[in-house]
């Protein structure tokens, strides 16, 4: 079962925590702090799921632009958007652009795991 | 600019149309005057005997008749003219009085000298005639006549003596001598005659036959037999004397008593010169006597002549005077009529100007110029006043349409003018405020006015807060001095209602705060929560000692984080109020449902709905209004709960829905702790609360909802509704149409600011679906 998850967030705390929680549950995780390193990670090995923060501070591309790039190169790769405060509208826009789902901060571990499991299961089914 | 250039004013002749249709009539009067004068002069000439025409009574009388006729003719003309003048005067025609005066003056000037001269002349004539017929002249004439007579009488007396003497001598001569010796007798006779120096003597019989005669050197006529045979004339005692001046002799005849029917006849020639003189003297004396007899006739004739001439001249001068007066008065009359027209306000008057009228023509010209000037000036004035009027109307329109309140304060500090916006702002009608001192009408401005009066600046600005009809309003005030008179400046006060602006500024400021909170608090919340959860998940399994404490701590962290998140959510929700979706709904039903729900939730409080109209249709977003009403009722229940139980009694909330003109009004009256007196309006601002645990967003959200429905929330006291009652009276007001009738300044920009502020996130352009979703979320959240 595919369980390679790439987590892209500019905040190291969140990035590491999400990765840690997923690791605890047995998923394989990688992390990236900006769009360029994320692109590099994806290029090096296609992950099975991407958690992508919409707001990427200090990055060349923001979350939505990166989403478009990912979708362009890997249309079937599920991307779950993590929305910051007060920008549900952009999260909804992301869904339209092809995101699998979105989570509004702050979110609970259960929701993170549920979304991850669902996305991977769908991915596996599709594969 | 319309009335000014009426240069084409028709010449105006105010005088009545003169009768020009009868040229004969116009020439008749001068003609009559000429005839009268001519006949008078002719009469004079004839009467004075300067012509060959004999001034006999008949001639003179006919001349007088002609004169009388011409005078009557003139009189007729004069009467006609006078009649006209009298008529004119009766009709009140202009200058009729002047007309009469001029004619009168002319008549007097003409008549007085004529009459005076006539009287003087008559007196003179009388005096002259008196002198002629009395005194020396008369005596002279009579003397001449006496002398002439004396002369003849002397001759007669002489010849009488002579004839008596001759007769005696013949008587003494014996008769026979006569009969027989005629020669001797003759000689004797001759001697006797020549002795008496009688050049001629003869004896005649009764038939006039010569019997004896002396030498005849001169022919003497024999007396006719009738005389001889008349014994009264010829007798034998007294001779009959005859003076024959024409024959230049005196004769005497006497009957000889001794000779029967024989008469002595003697004659003596007179001096021809003396006789001539005598004859002439007698003639002259006769003429003189005749003249004296005719004296009164002459006097009357002269008087008549004077009268005729005087009358003629008088009539003529009266006619001329009338004519002159006509000519003189005509332009004056025109001027008077024109002037009276001007006095009625019509300045479009021009009098015709005839150069021949001289000074009056100049007067007319001046008058025309004057009216023209007046007209021009009046037109300019009218135009100027129209301009001022239009400016005034413009300014009034500007004032009344200005959204800012404008108040004019005069030197004494009373309100001189205020516009509709000012009326609304200060909450008094114009009639209540005009001429009232400003300090009574708007005491809040006292300090600014003081500054304005004391300060040197022309403009004083400031902000005041005024309380009117339960609403607090923030006004930006500008006081501008109108420096007409330094001692009594008048001021223009401009009031800008910046309540909305201030509240928008506060809201906007709060929006920023909300965003910062969301950003700064929500972000770290995620790692905190995730950390706590991970700790619990990862180490919950391995911790065995005091596991309960571990669970409690992690749970507390997670719960508190969740509380913080909810609070931040509530802030965000207010910052991004959904737009209401207006639909035709029933207010009554909405109220009923909301009240029902709150009744269920708070059974310990009496919550009563009073629906004045049912159903009550209006355009509104049912969910938002229901939400707002629920919020207000909830607030009321909380206010009742806040009252100490010993004071409370039974909690009660009245909800009254009604329609007032174009507004729907929902009143919520409770008997809770009531609203604070101070800074009530700020309760509507976000984050302002009187309760310990309140977020301060409830009323702000209700206010926003009503604002979006073209209404507002009014905060009052329950005592206004039911005297003496404790508690608050919240009035929710929104437009039946769902739209604000009047655009409240500041509302829209404030909302726009808030929304613009949100668009800091990338890819802000979103679809309607997202909006809708967002709305849903907020509404549900607002229910909390």
A64 and B519 in contact by Cβ < 8 A?
no
pLDDT at B582: 84
Long-range contacts of B256-262 (CB under 8 A, 24+ apart): B256/B167, B256/B170, B256/B171, B256/B203, B257/B171, B258/B170, B258/B171, B258/B175, B259/B170, B259/B175, B259/B178, B259/B203, B261/B205, B261/B206, B262/B203, B262/B204, B262/B205, B262/B206, B262/B211
Q: How far apart are CA B91 and CA B16, in angstroms?
A: 12
Any idea what the Cα angle at residue B266 is, between residues B261 and B271, rounded to 5°?
Answer: 160
User: What are the structure tokens assigned to A95, written together?
Assistant: 């869904």
Q: Is B529 on the interface with A (CB under 8 A)?
A: yes
The answer to whether residue B530 neighbours chain A at the CB level (below 8 Å) is: yes
**Nearest CA-CA partner of B653 in B732, B730, B734:** B730
Tens of pLDDT, residues B385-401 = 999 999 989 988 888 88
Contacts 24+ apart (CB under 8 A), B75-82: B75/B315, B77/B28, B77/B29, B77/B32, B77/B319, B78/B315, B78/B318, B78/B319, B78/B322, B81/B319, B81/B322, B82/B322
How close does chain A come to B758, measured CA to CA in Å? 8
Distance of alpha carbon B731 from alpha carbon B203, whole angstroms: 183
* Least confident stretch, B99-103, B524-528, B593-597, B607-611: B99-103
Q: Is B779 exposed, middle or buried (0-12, 13-18, 19+ CB in 10 A)?
A: middle
**What is the chain B residue with the closest CA to A107?**
B526
B565 and chain A: CB distance < 8 Å anywhere? yes
Chain A residues with CB-CB distance to B518 below 8 A: 85-86
> A57 or B771: whose pLDDT is higher?
A57
Quick check: A85 and B523 CB within 8 A?
Answer: yes
Q: Scanning every residue of chain A, which has its alpha carbon at the shortest distance from the alpha carbon of B566? A: A106
Reduced 3-state DSSP string for B54-105: CCCHHHHHHHHHHHHHHHHHHHHHHHHHHHHHHHHHHCCCCCHHHHHHHHHH
User: How far is residue B160 CA from its own chain's centroid?
Assistant: 112
Q: What is the pLDDT of residue B112?
A: 81
Q: Rounded distance, CA B750 to CA B176, Å?
A: 198
- Alpha-carbon gap, residue A55 to B533, rounded angstroms: 24
Interatomic CA distance for residues B446 and A110, integer angstroms: 66
Q: What residues of chain B lie within 8 A of the CB of A64, using their CB? A: 762-763
CB atoms A88 and B773 under 8 Å:
yes
Instruction: Select the residue of A14, A85, A108 nearest B519 (Cβ to Cβ).
Output: A85
Edge-to-edge strands of the sheet including A28-32? A28-32, A4-8, A49-53, A79-83, A101-104
Q: Tell me what pLDDT residue B756 has.
A: 35
pLDDT at B775: 36
DSSP state of A60: S
B260 in contact with chain A, both atoms CB, cutoff 8 A: no
Confidence of residue B468 (pLDDT cuts 50, 70, 90): confident
Chain B residue with minimum CA distance to A14: B527
B444 min Cα distance to partner chain A (Å): 43
pLDDT band of residue A85 (cuts 50, 70, 90) is low
Does residue A106 have a cis peptide bond before it, meaning omega lies within 30 degrees of 0?
A: yes
Contacts of B532 in chain A (CB under 8 A): none
Q: What is the rounded average pLDDT of the residues B616-628?
A: 86
Q: What is the pLDDT of residues B635-654, one digit of tens each?
A: 888 888 888 877 777 888 99
Model confidence at A40, pLDDT cuts 50, 70, 90, reads very high
Interface check for B522 against chain A (CB to CB < 8 A): the answer is yes
pLDDT average, residue stretch B472-480: 85
Residue A30 binned pLDDT confidence (cut-offs 50, 70, 90): very high
Label the pairing between strands B262-269 and B249-255: antiparallel
pLDDT at residue B17 is higher than 70:
no
Burial B610-646 (b: 16+ CB within 10 A, else e): ebeeeebebbbbbbbbbbbbbbbbebbbbbbeebeee
Average pLDDT over residues B419-440: 81
Quick check: B488 pLDDT over 70?
no
With contact defined as beta carbons under 8 Å apart, do B88 and B99 qualify? yes
Q: Which residues of A touch B771 (CB under 8 A)?
A: 89
Assess whether pLDDT exceeds 80 at residue B99: no
Residue B4: its pLDDT value, please? Answer: 39
How much is the mean pLDDT over chain B?
Answer: 77
Identify which has the larger pLDDT, B190 or B221. B190
Q: How far apart are CA B241 and CA B180, in angstroms?
A: 31
> Is the CB of residue B761 less than 8 Å away from at least one CB of chain A?
yes
| A89 contacts in chain B (CB < 8 Å) | 761, 764, 766, 770-771, 774
CB B464 within 8 Å of CB B444: yes
ipTM of the complex: 0.83
Give yes or no for residue B411 having a pLDDT over 80: no
Residue in A24, A90, A92 closest to B769 by CB: A92
Q: What is the pLDDT of residue B748?
A: 37
Determine the Cα–Cα distance for residues B448 and B407; give it in Å rounded to an integer: 14
CB-nearest partner of B770 from A84, A92, A109:
A92
Percent of chain B's residues with pLDDT above 90: 3
Give the closest-approach CA distance of B613 to chain A in angstroms: 42
Q: Supply angle C-alpha B188, B192, B198, rounded to 5.
A: 130
pLDDT band at A88 (very low <50, low <70, confident <90, very high): low
Q: Is B144 on the interface with A (CB under 8 A)?
A: no
The residue of A67, A85, A112 whose CB has the most chain B CBs within 10 angstroms, and thus the best one to mutate to test that interface, is: A85
Query: Mutate which of B530, B536, B565, B567 to test chain A, going by most A C-beta atoms within 10 A?
Result: B530
Strand partners, B495: B405, B477
Cβ partners under 8 Å of residue A55, min gap 6: A10, A62, A63, A84, A87, B761, B762
Residue B357, both tokens: 């009228």
* Lowest pLDDT segment from A84-88, B15-19, B344-348: B15-19
The span from the CA of B470 to the CA of B19, in Å, is: 87
Q: Do A90 and B769 touch (CB under 8 A)?
A: no
Residue B216: pLDDT band with limits 50, 70, 90: low
Q: For residue A60, say if its preceding peptide bond is cis, omega within 30 degrees of 0.
A: no
What is the structure's pLDDT at B578? 61
pLDDT of residue B656: 92
SS3 content of chain B, % helix, strand, coil (to 5): 60, 15, 25
- Residue A106 has its nearest CB partner, among B526, B538, B770, at B526
Q: Confidence band (pLDDT; 50, 70, 90) for B516? A: confident
Supply B274's token pair.
């003396």
Maximum distance among all Cα pairs of chain B, rounded to whole angstroms: 255
Lowest mean pLDDT among B14-23, B511-520, B532-541, B659-668: B14-23
CA distance B543 to chain A (A): 16
Query: In angstroms, rounded to a whole number, what is the distance separating the alpha carbons of residues B474 and B405?
Result: 13
Interface test with A, best of B518, B525, B536, B762 (most A CBs within 10 A): B762
* Chain A residue with minimum CA distance to B533: A109
SS3 assignment, position B483: coil
Contact at CB, B527 and A14, closer than 8 angstroms:
yes
Interface of A with B (CB under 8 A): 11, 13-14, 17-18, 20-21, 24, 54-55, 62, 64, 84-90, 92-93, 96, 105-109, 112
Residue pair B325/B360 in contact by the 8 Å Cβ criterion: no
- Enter the tokens of residue B572: 């965000």
Interface A-B, measured as beta-carbon pairs within 8 A, has a size of: 91
Residue B648 and residue B696: Cα distance in Å, rounded? 25
Task: Give chain B positions within 8 Å (CB) of A55.
Answer: 761-762
Mean pLDDT of B719-741: 82
Q: Give the pLDDT confidence score for residue A1 in this predicted structure.
A: 57
Cross-chain Cβ contact B522/A62 below 8 Å: no
B135-177 tens-digit pLDDT: 777 788 778 778 877 877 787 788 888 888 888 877 777 777 7
């Amino acid at each position: 079962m595919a369980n390679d998850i790439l987590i892209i967030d500019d905040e190291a705390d969140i990035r590491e925590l999400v990765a840690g929680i997923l690791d605890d549950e047995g998923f394989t995780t990688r992390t990236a702090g900006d769009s360029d390193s994320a692109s590099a990670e994806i290029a090096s090995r296609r992950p099975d799921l991407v958690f992508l923060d919409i707001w990427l501070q200090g990055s060349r591309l923001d979350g939505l632009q990166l989403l478009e790039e990912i979708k362009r190169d890997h249309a079937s790769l599920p991307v779950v958007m993590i929305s910051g405060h007060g920008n549900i509208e952009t999260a909804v826009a992301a869904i339209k652009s092809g995101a699998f789902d979105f989570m509004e901060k702050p979110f609970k571990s259960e929701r993170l795991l549920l979304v991850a499991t669902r996305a991977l299961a769908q991915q596996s089914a599709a594969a | 600019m319309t009335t000014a250039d009426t240069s084409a004013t028709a010449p105006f002749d105010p005088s009545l149309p003169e009768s020009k249709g009868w040229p004969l009539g116009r020439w008749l009067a001068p003609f009559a005057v000429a005839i009268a004068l001519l006949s008078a002069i002719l009469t004079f000439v004839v009467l004075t005997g300067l012509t060959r025409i004999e001034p006999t009574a008949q001639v003179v009388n006919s001349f007088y008749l002609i004169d009388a006729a011409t005078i009557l003719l003139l009189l007729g003309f004069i009467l006609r003219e006078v009649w006209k003048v009298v008529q004119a005067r009766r009709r009140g025609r202009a200058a009729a009085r002047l007309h009469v005066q001029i004619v009168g003056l002319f008549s007097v000037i003409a008549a007085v000298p004529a009459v005076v001269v006539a009287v003087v002349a008559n007196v003179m004539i009388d005096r002259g005639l008196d002198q002629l017929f009395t005194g020396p002249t008369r005596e002279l004439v009579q003397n001449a006549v006496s002398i002439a007579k004396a002369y003849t009488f002397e001759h007669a007396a002489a010849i009488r003596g002579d004839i008596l003497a001759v007769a005696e001598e013949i008587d003494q001569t014996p008769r026979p001598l006569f009969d027989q010796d005629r020669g001797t007798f003759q000689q004797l006779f001759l001697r006797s005659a020549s002795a008496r120096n009688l050049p001629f003597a003869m004896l005649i019989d009764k038939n006039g036959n010569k019997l004896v005669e002396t030498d005849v050197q001169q022919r003497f006529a024999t007396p006719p037999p009738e005389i001889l045979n008349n014994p009264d004339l010829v007798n034998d005692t007294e001779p009959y004397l005859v003076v024959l001046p024409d024959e230049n002799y005196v004769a005497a005849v006497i009957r000889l008593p001794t000779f029967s029917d024989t008469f002595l006849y003697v004659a003596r020639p007179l001096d021809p010169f003396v006789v001539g003189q005598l004859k002439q003297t007698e003639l002259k004396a006769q003429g003189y006597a005749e003249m004296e007899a005719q004296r009164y006739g002459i006097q009357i004739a002269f008087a008549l002549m004077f009268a005729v001439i005087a009358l003629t001249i008088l009539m003529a001068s009266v006619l001329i005077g009338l004519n002159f007066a006509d000519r003189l008065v005509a332009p004056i009359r025109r001027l008077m009529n024109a002037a009276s027209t001007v006095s009625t306000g019509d300045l479009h008057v021009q009098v015709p100007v005839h150069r021949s009228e001289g000074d009056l023509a100049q007067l007319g010209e001046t008058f025309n110029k004057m009216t023209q000037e007046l007209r021009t000036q009046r037109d300019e004035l009218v135009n100027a006043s129209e301009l001022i009027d239009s400016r005034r109307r413009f300014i009034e329109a500007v004032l009344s349409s200005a959204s800012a309140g404008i108040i004019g304060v005069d030197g004494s500090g009373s309100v001189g003018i205020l516009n509709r916006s000012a009326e609304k702002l200060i909450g008094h009608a114009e009639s209540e405020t005009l001429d009232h001192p400003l300090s009574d009408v708007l005491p809040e401005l006292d300090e600014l006015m003081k500054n304005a009066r004391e300060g040197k600046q022309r403009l004083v600005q400031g902000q005041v807060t005024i309380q009117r009809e339960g609403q607090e309003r923030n006004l930006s005030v500008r006081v501008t001095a109108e420096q007409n008179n330094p001692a009594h400046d008048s001021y223009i006060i401009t009031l800008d209602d910046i309540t909305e602006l201030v509240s928008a500024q506060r809201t906007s400021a709060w929006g920023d705060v909300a965003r910062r909170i969301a950003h700064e608090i929500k972000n770290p919340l995620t790692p905190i929560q995730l950390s706590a959860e991970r700790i619990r998940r990862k180490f919950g399994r391995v911790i065995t000692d005091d596991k309960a404490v571990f669970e409690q701590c992690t749970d507390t962290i997670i719960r508190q984080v969740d509380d913080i998140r909810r609070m931040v959510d509530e802030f965000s929700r207010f910052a991004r109020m959904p737009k209401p979706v207006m639909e035709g709904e029933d207010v009554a039903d909405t109220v009923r449902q909301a009240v029902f729900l709150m009744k269920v939730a708070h059974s310990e409080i009496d919550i009563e709905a009073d629906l004045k109209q049912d159903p009550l249709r209006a355009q509104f977003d049912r969910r938002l209004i229901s939400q707002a009403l629920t919020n207000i009722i909830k607030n009321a229940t909380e206010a009742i709960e806040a009252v100490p139980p010993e004071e409370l009694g039974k909690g009660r909330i009245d909800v009254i829905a009604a329609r007032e003109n174009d507004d729907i009004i929902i009143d919520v009256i409770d008997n809770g702790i009531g609203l604070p007196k101070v800074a009530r309006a700020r309760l509507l601002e976000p984050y302002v609360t009187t309760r310990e645990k309140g977020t301060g967003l409830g009323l702000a959200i209700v206010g926003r909802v009503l604002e979006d429905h073209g209404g507002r929330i009014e905060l009052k006291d329950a005592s206004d509704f039911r005297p003496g009652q404790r508690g608050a009276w919240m009035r929710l007001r929104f437009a039946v149409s769902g739209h604000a009738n009047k655009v409240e300044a500041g509302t829209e920009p404030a909302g726009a600011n808030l929304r613009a502020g949100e668009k800091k996130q990338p890819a802000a352009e979103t679809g309607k679906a997202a909006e809708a979703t967002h709305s849903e979320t907020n509404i549900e959240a607002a229910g909390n």
